[in-house]
Amino acid sequence: MQPCAPSQTPEVDQEALHRKYLLERDKRLRSDGQQQYLEADEEFEEFYTGDPHLPVEPREPIIGEVEVVVLGGGFSGLITAHRLQQQGVEDYKIIELGGDFGGVWYWNRYPGIQIDSDAYCYLPLLEETGYMPKEKFSKGDECFEHAQRIGKHFGLYEHAIFHTLIRSLEWDEEIKRWRISTNRGDEILARFVVMCQGPYNRPKLPGIPGIKDFKGHTFHTARWDFDYTGGDLHGGLDKIGDKRIAIIGTGSSGIQAIPHLARGAKHLTVFQRTPSYVFERANYPTDPEWVKSLTPGWRAERQRNFHNAAFAFYNPGEPDLICDGWTEVARNLAAKLNETNGWAALADPKKFLELKEIEDYKAMERLRQRVEAIVEDPETAEKLKPYYRNMCKRPVFNDEFLPTFNRDNVTLIDVSETKGVERITEKGIIADGVEHEFDCIVFASGFEITTALERQFDIAPFTGREGTSLYDHWGKGFRTLHGIMAHGFPNHFATGFVQGGVTAATTLMFEQQADHIAYIIKEAQSRGVTHVEPTSEAEEGWVQTVRQYSVDNSTFTTECTPGYYNSEGEPNGRSFLGDPFWGGFYELTELLENWRSTGDLEGLVFEK
């Protein structure tokens, strides 16, 4: 593979841009923050529980008992099941709302779906299943198929309960079991519960006045209605040639679906509040020669290299193995430090961040110039330019999105001045006082990621010992041991962004957590105990450890344009990274390994 060159970036007036960034942020800040979004319940329940891909077969309720319940059959749940197997834990069930494994990759099949992150780092259990991704950025079906591959390879299907949504989780102290009820009338007792719901489990809707009045067709990108549009996730939407379609939302999902909607529809109107920053996709097929050259450990090295770019820095001489938009700023900064012999800046965090910020401004300006070069109408191009810092929002990668605005059948309506779409009516959408009529509105409005946990989990009651609600326990901030267990919630384990270590390949984080969880469950079983939980002192100790390493990035986040990354700009909003342990992802791996290696399970109490 060619070494990855720094990108050519223009000079910028940093101060003027900073002022512009703040103005653009203020334009979009809303006093209702996260409350602006509607939950997918009541008449919108189908946007969450409805399955457009596979009919839900009737079945009798399950009344029974199992040792471990894994909540969710996406990559996190699959990795957890694999690790449980490795530890010899055999009696477990994976309860999943979808009709198959895959999680987000089961549900999200909108046209154009493709991962935005290096597949070689992201797709889990590659070596174990003997699979190599077909290209750098896998399409959605390859990800879904990989989830199925993992399921088949490790015999996980026999443990699955599909098309089932856990509705309540209650610890019963008398019998030392979790009581689990589901939307299928099941009553299941489980000794252990592992939460693997992932951050993108539940779609949300924009709380636009009149949203319930629209008489035309609607759906959410996460539950795409191909019966209505025709085609499949590769495109070919051949049923909407006579339809006027609106799409609300231009985040990762909207960006990918828009080119396909434009090709299929009579007319497409894109309602945009904040433009995404759109990198070149520059996808490529996996090179067989490169595959032949790989030696054991290649994947761990690649993941660490990605981590350095995203959450730390390249060391002198370290190549950029990822070489895409995620790593552009780090790569350019490393080139600058090389050129100026300035590596000493690494020892001075303030100086380092200043130098990084310069590269950030320049890279974002390069992307704004990219918009200008592609979009022919200057007014439309201006509306599509992102004015905020790199990583204020999730980067997107697309070669078809910007050219879509050169089509005659596509209109862009900028709704930033009204902080979002003003109103929905029976017939369509009002913007700037004008009603636009549509046959269909597509909501590309994202997921319950940083909204209240009650909304995200949608599980109630969710209670531990003495009937304490998890939502209350975490009401003033997360309280865990190692981001995984909480005091008062025996035999309960969390995966995901809660007081853990963050890294660029999310599935690696799931692996780190699953290793720890499976080990604790196996230990509990082999010690013949009925329940295990952290002491309140151990939990408080971890809270203090997390606090000790916490990084004050509030200036960065508050200056960002609103979005779920900064809890819509709420002053004390929860980070989507869930109050992480900033002591370092690999440092946390070591800490957990050391903790396990003593065999003492320090901080946990076991009861027979």
Site of interaction with ligand NAP (CB under 6 A):
28, 114-117, 200, 206, 208, 248-254, 271, 273-274, 394, 415, 420-421, 444-447, 563-564
Kindly tell me which of 25 and 267 has the beta carbon lying closer to ligand NAP.
25
Minimum gap (Å) between residue 524 Cβ and ligand NAP: 34
Q: Nearest to residue 250, comparing CAs of 20, 369, 412, 418?
A: 412
Residue 295 CA to residue 301 CA, distance in Å, equals 10
Q: Smallest distance from the beta carbon of 515 to ligand NAP, in angstroms? A: 24
Nearer to ligand NAP, 151 or 446 (CB): 446
- Contact (Cβ atoms closer than 8 angstroms) between residue 235 and residue 111: yes
Q: Which is nearer to ligand NAP, 248 or 514 (CB)?
A: 248
Residues in the chain, total: 608
Going by C-alpha positions, the residue among 140, 138, 184, 191 that lies closest to residue 161 is 184
Structure tokens, 519: 């080990």
Q: How far is the CB of 419 from ligand NAP (least distance, A)?
A: 8
Q: Closest approach of Cβ 272 to ligand NAP, in Å?
A: 7
Q: Cα 54 from chain centroid?
A: 24
3-state DSSP assignment of residue 605 = strand
Q: Which one, 182 or 303, has the nearer CB to ligand NAP?
A: 303
CA–CA gap between residue 166 and residue 187 (Å, rounded): 10
Q: Output 464 or 569, the one with its CB closest to ligand NAP.
A: 569
- Which residues are within 8 A (CB) of 593 and not within 5 positions of it... i.e. 6 or more apart? none
Q: Which is nearer to ligand NAP, 117 or 480 (CB)?
A: 117
CB count, 10 Å around CB of 188?
23
Residue 72 is given by DSSP the state -
Closest to 532 measured CA to CA, from 496, 598, 481, 574: 481
Q: How far is the CB of 443 from ligand NAP (least distance, A)?
A: 8
Q: Identify the DSSP state of 326.
A: G
Give the shortest CB-117-to-ligand NAP separation in angstroms.
Answer: 6
CB of 64 to ligand NAP, least distance (A): 35
Closer residue to ligand NAP in complex, CB, 201/525: 201
In sequence order, which residues have a C-beta less than 8 Å from that of residue 437 and are 6 or more positions away?
244, 427, 428
Q: Closest CB to ligand NAP among 273 and 383?
A: 273
- Least distance in Å: CB of 28 to ligand NAP? 6
Amino acid letter, residue 408 = D
The string of DSSP codes covering 186-213 is -EEEEEEEEE---TT-SBEEE--TTTTT
